[in-house]
Amino acid sequence: MNRLVSFRSKSRIGTTPCSSSFYARLLGSSIDASRTRSTANASDSLATVSRCSSLVPARTLTGSSLFGSRNGSSARLSNLTGHGGSQGVARRFCSDAAAERESMEYDVVIVGAGPAGLSAAIRLKQLCGEKGVDLSVCVVEKGAEVGAHIISGNVFEPRALDELLPEWEKEEAPISVSVSSDKFWFLTKDRAFSLPSPFDNKNNYVISLSQLVRWMGSKAEEYGVEIYPGFAASEILCDDNGSVIGIGTNDMGVAKNGSKKENFQRGVALKGRVTLFAEGCRGSLSEKIIKKYHLREKRNAQHQTYALGIKEVWEIDESKHQPGAVIHTLGWPLDQKTYGGSFLYHMSERQVAIGLVVALNYKNPYLSPYEEFQKLKHHPAIKPILEDGTVIQYGARTLNEGGIQSVPYPVFPGGAIIGCSAGFLNVPKIKGTHTAMKSGMLAAEAAFGTLLEGSNLDSYWTTLQNSWVWEELHKARNYRPAFDHGFIPGMAISAVEHYLFRGKSPFTLKHGKPDHEATNVARSHSPIEYPKPDGVLSFDVPTSLHRSNTNHDHDQPAHLKLRDPEMPTQVNLPEYDGPESRYCPARVYEYVPEESGQLKLQINAQNCLHCKACDIKDPKQNIEWTVPEGGGGPGYSVM
Amino acid sequence: FDQEKKIKNRESFSFWIPSQSNVCCPFKLTLSSLIVARVEHLSPPAKMKIMVAVKRVIDYAVKIRVKPDKSGVETQNVKMSMNPFCEIALEEALRIKEAGLASEVVAVTIGPKQSIDTLRTGLAMGADRGIHVEATGDLFPLAVAKLFKALVEIEKPGLIILGKQAIDNDCNQTGQMVAGLLGWPQGTFASKVVLDKEKQEVMVDREVDGGLETVCLNLPAVITTDLRLNQPRYATLPNIMKAKSKPVKKYTPEELNVGTKSDLEVVEITEPPKRKAGVLVSSVDELIDKLRNEAHVI
């Protein structure tokens, strides 16, 4: 039976009980957009806050000026007028929602201040400087500051950064630790076997991506890019032709029951002649775009496959610290049927990054990636490194493993998708930062051409396929799908790929089932007994969560929506024994007994790390991750 | 004497709960007769200026770490934001201005170069002007209060609002010291502020240990805000844009003729001792034995 863990609530990481009436009202709004809502106070404010599944057709805004000439980089503020629609109490969220908010216009709006988004912004401004024109570029970021939601291993290949900002070393980028050693271990429960390292990290660096992105943000601001952290893009705005014309930010100050608090602020419409989506893996708006414009079907791409990475940064003993040491492991604690591995990178200042990546197509619903990570730290080869150390930060994020087979067509009317939202991670190299950055740069060049010369944005797709990104991903395409056949076949095929074909193999393997379909029913597996945390090397979820500096304003509607509110108790719990209570690295989902003794799903949305694992792994795809009020979420600084 | 600073657990503000000992409902006590306000100059009512102090501190959601050398708290690569009580102070000032009782809200910050970001946030919330006193190093409340006094003599506001304390040092001294240096009346721990322009006075409900106390202060006065005063507004995107062009005046302590050297020196900062696990005892005798021989309390 599912082991229920209820923990004492701290003020921020508390359990937030959802009363059933609120639940019903909230979920009622997420079921069908076309049904006009009857609950008055839920209608207007919940409308824009809760729903992002349909695209919002914005009415005639400052229509003509939208495509007029730009002068200077300052955005023009304009109020939407002349909507003409009725402003009755029961509103349809899409049409009227756009009417009453302020709009700001830019040439390019970029959603997400990560490596891809900031690379695109910087490249645009560089091109402006080269050609002597000016374009207004705006980047919105849902994290409280640039870098707050950035988490990655990270062994950095500076290839794209060398192209973008060749003087990065002189300009004091936080890239200082060269890779000094590269080890690859196969772990069993008690031993570690050294294997030849398949990686070539000679000219790479061990960095904190969060710090690098923060530095890139300051560089972007020097170029004149406007970056607005603390604002979450929650809606896609499109015109009557169905082209994307921008995004709308979240309403702020909406209470849990949907009513407006005294500090209610309507979201803002950010309109761009080109909109680039750089939301990272499984971006909420990017997924909607891909669905709406059938971007996967457009190039016969497969579904995306994912993995969940859970990471901690430790400060260890000076004597054990070897800056630049890189260790990757395979095997224990994961079994032969589960793809994944761990990493341990020595950064600067006595810090090490350690993490476990578990592919989300695992079959056992009782698997808990978080607990597997805790187990890993006790391995006799890993434990000595961490002993006498302290954990500085904790975090988790999903990453894409689909490679070339899963990249959707990245251009749609009005914009493009860049970075991990499209999915350019090189799985055998386990690096996605450099390809994300390059994709941002290429999209920027295409957008520049579109805005100034009227060329087609599809040129982004062409340049992408002719670039080293595609070449790299093409060579890497068979490694991950090989493991769908099992560990030994996977290793065998990988060896053949690497040593024999050297990337020129004549075949392309396909991915297996989508991750959410891969979960077996609970009765074909037995619960896994995980060891209790010892408080020194392994910890319980609330302790770890505290280290992620996660916070959300507790008085806001839960941002995790259930498409069918009954499904958790009718399907997830009986069939799969509530896997969301195990794979979520933040203990957002808990099955707690009601007064009647029945178990009910409780969503502690305040804990959410924005990792998107639930959106990916929920067996019936019932959980939808939507963006909460801007400024909330984790606060990574060295991840 | 040795000063040992305790790093407080940042997880919650000090939630104040009224004691219910003898009082079944908050009592009002008007102290206007007891408070003597030395009114130095009455600014013309129509042009009252409000000065608000804002401080750049480590964000309240961040887990605090002590530096390995115990000289301070880790501030590198750590998110900084406006002190929550200062946000409440600014919000109150903006509300007073929006009610038509004040003409201008000036946000003041004293700190290093990066404090300008906090000031811009304040301007984005709605303050009209900013003043940045650039001062590096540890500033204790007395130095801050002296700098404030110097600025008050330049700006001549009719009301000063500060947060009751900063969440990094929890001193709860600056507002009181400012009032003392200026000789102005003070209403601290304000949970309600009602300004009466005609009579040039302000009624402040204070959260005190016994309940709520209402004081009536003659203007100009100093108010420090407590948690329940208001809900600060969000800075909207358009306002953030407008804030970029709002004027910010810079000063240094030398220009204001204020010495910031303190008589206090922080010697060491350590984490609070880790809580030891509790021990279950099986009998009263064992308990007594432990109390006598291990804890040495009996």
Angle at A565 between CA A560 and CA A569, to 5 degrees: 110
* pLDDT over 60 at A341, yes or no: yes
CB contact under 8 A, A263 and B241: no
CA dihedral (B149, B151, B154, B155) in degrees, to 10, reads -110
Helices (H), A132-280: 159-164, 209-223
CA dihedral (A190, A355, A586, A637) in degrees, to 10, reads 150
How many whole angstroms separate alpha carbon A8 and alpha carbon A549?
A: 18
Ramachandran angles phi, psi of A406, nearest 5°: -110, 0
CB pairs under 8 A between A and B: 68
Task: Summarize pLDDT for A157-180 with one digit per residue, the tens.
Answer: 999 999 999 999 999 999 999 999
Which residue in A has a C-alpha nearest to residue B12's C-alpha?
A11
* pLDDT over 50 at A4, yes or no: no
Which residue in A has a C-alpha nearest to residue B238's C-alpha?
A77
Question: Do residues A631 and B87 lie in contact, with contact meaning Cβ atoms separated by under 8 Å?
Answer: no
Supply the residues of A annotated as catalytic: 152, 397, 433, 584, 608, 611, 614
Write the DSSP string, A43-58: HHHHHHHH--SSPEEP
State the average pLDDT over residues A382-395: 93
Which residue in B has a C-alpha nearest to residue A102's C-alpha?
B238
* pLDDT over 50 at B3, yes or no: no
State the average pLDDT over residues A582-595: 93
Amino acid B46: pLDDT: 61
Q: Is A3 left (phi over 0), alpha (psi -120 to 50) or beta?
A: beta
How many whole angstroms separate alpha carbon A83 and alpha carbon A96?
A: 8
Task: Please provide the average confidence, as pLDDT, over all residues in chain A.
Answer: 84
CA dist list (Å): A517 to A338, A430, A480, A626: 15, 24, 18, 21
Amino acid A99: pLDDT: 53
Interface test with B, best of A549, A550, A555, A629 (most B CBs within 10 A): A549
Task: Summarize pLDDT for A187-242 with one digit per residue, the tens.
Answer: 999 999 998 888 888 899 999 999 999 999 999 999 999 999 999 999 999 999 98
Amino acid B136: pLDDT: 87
Which residue in B has a C-alpha nearest to residue A148's C-alpha?
B79
Closest to B79 (Cβ–Cβ): which among A145, A252, A270?
A145
Closest to A549 (Cβ–Cβ): which among B61, B240, B241?
B61
Amino acid A225: pLDDT: 95
Question: Do residues A115 and A441 lie in contact, with contact meaning Cβ atoms separated by under 8 Å?
Answer: no
**Any idea where the domains of chain A sit in the sequence?**
20-148+218-295, 479-508, 541-625
- Find the farthest-apart pair of alpha carbons in chain A and give their distance in angstroms, rounded: 72
How many whole angstroms separate alpha carbon A566 and alpha carbon A578?
A: 13
State the average pLDDT over residues B100-118: 94
How many whole angstroms separate alpha carbon A601 and alpha carbon A592?
A: 6
Under DSSP, the state recorded for A409 is P
How many whole angstroms separate alpha carbon A223 and alpha carbon A217?
A: 10
CB contact under 8 A, A268 and B61: no
Q: Smallest Cα–Cα separation from A588: which of A573, A575, A607?
A: A607
Q: Up-side HSE of residue A446: CA atoms within 13 Å toward CB?
A: 26
The domain defined by A541-625 folds into Alpha-Beta Plaits (3.30.70)
* pTM reported for the whole predicted model: 0.81
State the average pLDDT over residues B188-206: 93
Amino acid A31: pLDDT: 35
Amino acid A494: pLDDT: 84
Structure tokens given for A39: 């609950």
How many whole angstroms separate alpha carbon A372 and alpha carbon A49?
A: 36
Q: How far away is chain B from the Cα of A405, in angstroms, using its nearest Cα?
A: 38
List CB contacts of A246: < 8 A, sequence separation 6 or more: A58, A103, A109, A237, A269, A270, A271, A272, A275
SS3 A181: strand
Q: How far away is chain A from the Cα of B290, in angstroms, using its nearest Cα?
A: 26
Closest to B63 (Cβ–Cβ): which among A145, A228, A547?
A547
Amino acid A270: pLDDT: 94
Burial classification of residue A299, based on how many CB atoms lie within 10 Å of its CB (0-12 exposed, 13-18 middle, 19 or more buried): exposed
* Helix (H) or strand (E) run with residue A128 in it: helix A115-131
Burial classification of residue A422, based on how many CB atoms lie within 10 Å of its CB (0-12 exposed, 13-18 middle, 19 or more buried): buried
- A249 chain-B contacts, CB cut-off 8 A: 237
Question: Do residues A278 and A233 lie in contact, with contact meaning Cβ atoms separated by under 8 Å?
Answer: no
CB contact under 8 A, B231 and A10: no
CB contact under 8 A, A265 and B236: yes
* pLDDT over 80 at A21, yes or no: no
* Helix (H) or strand (E) run with residue A155 in it: strand A155-156
* pLDDT over 70 at A70, yes or no: no
The CATH H-level superfamily of A20-148+218-295 is: FAD/NAD(P)-binding domain (3.50.50.60)
How many whole angstroms separate alpha carbon A164 and alpha carbon A439?
A: 12
ipTM of the predicted assembly exceeds 0.90: no
* pLDDT over 70 at B251, yes or no: yes
- A263 chain-B contacts, CB cut-off 8 A: 231-234
Angle at A459 between CA A280 and CA A505, to 5 degrees: 70
List CB contacts of A472: < 8 A, sequence separation 6 or more: A426, A429, A435
Write the DSSP string, A221-245: HHHT-EEEET--EEEEEE-TTS-EE
Amino acid B288: pLDDT: 92
* Helix (H) or strand (E) run with residue B107 in it: strand B104-111
Q: Smallest Cα–Cα separation from A137: which of A105, A102, A103, A160?
A: A105
- Give A40's pLDDT tier (boundaries 50, 70, 90): very low
Task: Summarize pLDDT for A601-631 with one digit per residue, the tens.
Answer: 999 999 999 999 999 999 999 999 999 999 9
Structure tokens given for B16: 């104040």
* pLDDT over 50 at A306, yes or no: yes
CB contact under 8 A, B237 and A104: yes
